[in-house]
Each structure stands twice: as structure tokens, then as C-alpha cells.
Amino acid sequence: MSQSSDEMATLSAARRSATGLWELAQHVDGHFLPYYAFMHLWLEFGQAQWWLRLPSAIATGVAVALITDLGRRLRSLPAGVTAAAVYVLLPSVSYQGQNVRSYAFAAAAAVLATWALHRATEEPERRGGWWRYAAAVALLGCTQVFALLVLTAHLLAVALHGRGVLARMLAAVAVGCVPGAVGAVVGFKERHAISWIEMPDPAVFLALPRTVGGTAPAGHVLLALALAAPLLMRRHRPDRLWVTLLTGWALLPPILLFGLSHLAAPVYVDRYLFATVPAYALLAGLALAATPLPIAALALVTALAAGLPGQLDLRREDGHNENFPRAIRIISGEALPGDAIVYAGSWLRTGMLYYGGRDLADDVLLMSAAPRPDSFDYPERADVAAALDGYERVWVLWRGGARKPATGSDRIDALLRAGFTRSRAWHVGRAPGMTVMLQTRRADLASRTAHRRRRPA
């Protein structure tokens, strides 16, 4: 399947030199620097699509193993296995498990931190338990800064039921949160990079099933199992600390992210909550382990059926929203010698070049093949009309629907002023997707520009 523009941002960052990556982090995505640095080293061994996605798949496998063991510790091995099965059946997990971003790492680190907390509190005779927990918290903060909201559930559960370990936990959190605190400060300074996020309204909570499940049907099944956990675990309820922790892990991050959006700046994005998904899976696994086997098996089959359409859907070529290969096929099939290409969002060029779209048409605005040191955009000419002098056809690409670009509408206006008008348009990928448009000069200007193009240099 085609990679998304978010994944292309990872590719753009990781391809830079160490100095270039540091320069980028001082202007945008600085809180992603640990992940980008890891991917920078990973890309030294290849840049094939499967290789780029392998780290997220490995992180998902680690999360599954930790969920299994944590479920075993909280109740039984069947509970852990069932929780892991619920987790891998979710379309959201499959999506992030093959996404070249850090969210699969964040989920794995969240499970690791909870697993380490369990060992530190339930096995106090083992040395180094709190240092292990501090290290897991540090790793969590390095994956994605909003994943640290999971720790509020840890603090709440230990404060209510911790039996005197709160002080040691606070010390471990204070040490472990240093990288995350640095990332939070950097992210706040670079908040212009997420200015596109809209202020959330309470309706986002109605969309929570889709957020955690990947699709609404899968999410509703998952949410139903998680909500049924307290009732189904009447006889075999784990320690109250862990019931409180799992419930808080599932519910507190979206509430806090919503609150932060209204108190500081809009930051509520569905994918920022992916680190909560293991909590839902664990609650579901604990609940199903307390039910008769036929009922548990039926529930798992229901979860599989609910998630199957989403699983198949995300494995389509446009499963990650944009569809660069199809855009390339359209242009290569329709382009004529001497056509130009203009990007209304210059960062889309990374995806087109990655999939082999280098020689489709004359890239008339490009000034340098390397992205800008302070962003994912490329250095481009501002004089669109002059750059297209002598061209009669131009291909235009932007993110969003065919009527209105998500960004770069100034380029469309410049083309209109230069005498170009829409000829054909294709929308590729799912919403918001990407638009490929062919524009041609108006008939009253075509002969004049053709004459100028034939003039000797």
C-alpha cells in the first residue's frame, strides 16, 4: 500500500544527515527527534517500503508479548492470551503496526511502563524494580509526548490503592519524565507546526470507539467488552489498584487531551491516543477470561468479524490515505512531452519521488533537490507565472479534495492569473486524499505562449 504524507515526513527527516536532522528538530517535530534519530540509523540498511515499516511491526509484536504477560500477572495466562488476541484483531493496531511513525512504539512503551510498575509494586523483593520503571517511563516520553498522559492513570491508581509505594513511584516518575518534559517544552515552542489542529468539541468522545478500534464496529465491540469487565470480573477481580489503573489508562488521556486543547492550544488528534488501546484490550481480555469458554470464543469471533472489513480496507493501495502510486500512474498515462508539474504542497514531492515520479513532467518551481533545512518543504520559485512561461499544460497536486486544497491555494490562484484553467481532475486516496489536476492555458493565450516557447534563446 502507498505510504501517507505523515510517513513521508519520517522519510524526509530520517534521510538527512545528523546535522540536518538536528537543524530540522530546532524548527519542527523536535519532540519526534528520538524516533527520527532511530529511523536515521535504520535507513542506513535500506529504504524499501517493507523495511521502513518493519520497526513498527516489531514494536507491535513487543506490545503483544507484554500484554500477554501483564494479563497473566493480573489474572491468568488465558487472560493474557485473550487480551493479546483482542489487540491484534483491531484495525487500529494493524494500521499503526505498519505505519512509519512512532505510535506503535508509544503503545509498546505504555504497556512496558505498566508491566514495570506491576513488577515494582508486586515484587518488591526484586532489586532494581523502580529503576526499571523509571527507564520505561523515559522510553515512553521518547516515543510520543502525549503518550505520557498514560502516567496519570498510574499516579491515580497508586495514590488510591498503592499501599505506601507512592513516594517511590513519584521519584521514579520524576527521573523518567525528564526526556518527555524536554520534548513537551520543545513541542510547545514549535506549536506552530500543529496549527492545523481544530479545537475539539464534546463530539470527539462519541468518536472514541472509532479512535481506539480503527473502525466504528470494531471499536464498539471493544468498548462493550471493556465496559463489561467490572461486571464479568465479580468473582475474579484483580487487585483494585490494577482495575483503577486500566480504567484510568483507557479514559484519562482523551479527557486530559481535550482539556489541554481548551486550556493551552488545540492538540486533540485521534492518533495521539493510540497508547490507550492496550488498556482496552487488557480489560477485554480480563473480562473474557472470566466468562465460559464458548461465550469468550463467540466474543472473539464477533471482534474478528467487526474488524475484518477495516483490516481488508487498510491493506488497499490507498489504505494510508494518500495514494502516490496511483497519482504517478495517472500522470504517466496522460502526460505529454513538455508538460509541467506544480505542487500546491511542496512536501508532496517526497512521496512522488519515492515512488518513482521523478521524470513525469518538468518540475518548474523546484530550486534544490534537498528539502529545506527547517521544514519538510522544498526550496521553490515564487514567480509561478514566469516559471510556466511557454508551457501550455501543467499538472497540479495538492492534499485534499478537488474543490479546495487543504494547503497551497495561493498556487492555484497564481495559475489562474497566469491563464490556466482546469481541464481534468482525479481524487486519489481516501479523505482527505490527494488531488491530481491537469490545467491548460486558455485558448486565447495558448498560441501566444507557444510562440514564445519557440523563440531562440
| SS3 per-residue string spanning 4-41 | CHHHHHHHHHHCCCHHHHHHHHCCCCHHHHHHHHHHHH
Res. 9 pLDDT band, cuts 50 70 90: very high
Mean pLDDT of 128-132: 92
Which pLDDT does position 454 carry in this prediction?
Answer: 44
Residue 111 above 90 pLDDT?
yes
- For 67-82, the pLDDT digits (tens) are 999 999 999 999 999 9
Mean pLDDT of 13-26: 95
Which pLDDT does position 339 carry in this prediction?
Answer: 95
Residue 455 above 70 pLDDT?
no
Residue 202 above 90 pLDDT?
yes
Whole-number average pLDDT of the chain: 90
CB 282 within 8 A of CB 67: yes
CB 47 within 8 A of CB 114: no
Res. 171 pLDDT band, cuts 50 70 90: very high
Mean pLDDT of 18-38: 95
DSSP state of 400: S
Which pLDDT does position 234 carry in this prediction?
Answer: 60
The H-or-E segment that residue 395 falls in is: strand 393-399
Residue 456 above 60 pLDDT?
no
3-state SS class at 215: coil
Strand-pair category, 434-441 with 420-428 = antiparallel
- For 267-287, the pLDDT digits (tens) are 999 999 999 999 999 999 999
Res. 333 pLDDT band, cuts 50 70 90: very high
Which pLDDT does position 445 carry in this prediction?
Answer: 53
Residue 432 preceded by cis peptide, ω within 30: yes
CB-based contacts of 443, cutoff 8 Å, min separation 6: none
CB 398 within 8 A of CB 432: no
Mean pLDDT of 342-353: 91
Q: What phi and psi values does residue 434 have, to the nearest 5 degrees?
A: -145, 145
The string of DSSP letters for 127-145 reads TTHHHHHHHHHHHHHHH-G
Residue 450 above 80 pLDDT?
no
Which pLDDT does position 451 carry in this prediction?
Answer: 47
* CB neighbourhood size of 340 (10 A): 21
Cα angle 420-423-426, degrees, rounded to a multiple of 5? 120
The H-or-E segment that residue 411 falls in is: helix 409-417
CA 130 to chain CA centroid, Å, is: 30
Which pLDDT does position 407 carry in this prediction?
Answer: 67
Query: What pTM was computed for the model?
Result: 0.92
- For 354-378, the pLDDT digits (tens) are 998 888 999 999 999 999 999 999 9
Which pLDDT does position 251 carry in this prediction?
Answer: 96
Which pLDDT does position 227 carry in this prediction?
Answer: 86
Which pLDDT does position 238 carry in this prediction?
Answer: 63
Nearest residue to 333 via CA among 426, 399, 404:
426
Domains in the chain with CATH codes: 5-314 (no CATH), 324-454 (3.40.190)
Which pLDDT does position 236 carry in this prediction?
Answer: 57
How far apart (Å, rounded) are the C-alpha atoms in residues 273 and 112?
A: 16
Res. 161 pLDDT band, cuts 50 70 90: confident
State the alpha helices, DSSP H only, in 233-378: 240-263, 277-289, 293-314, 324-334, 348-354
CB 332 within 8 A of CB 324: no
Mean pLDDT of 230-245: 74
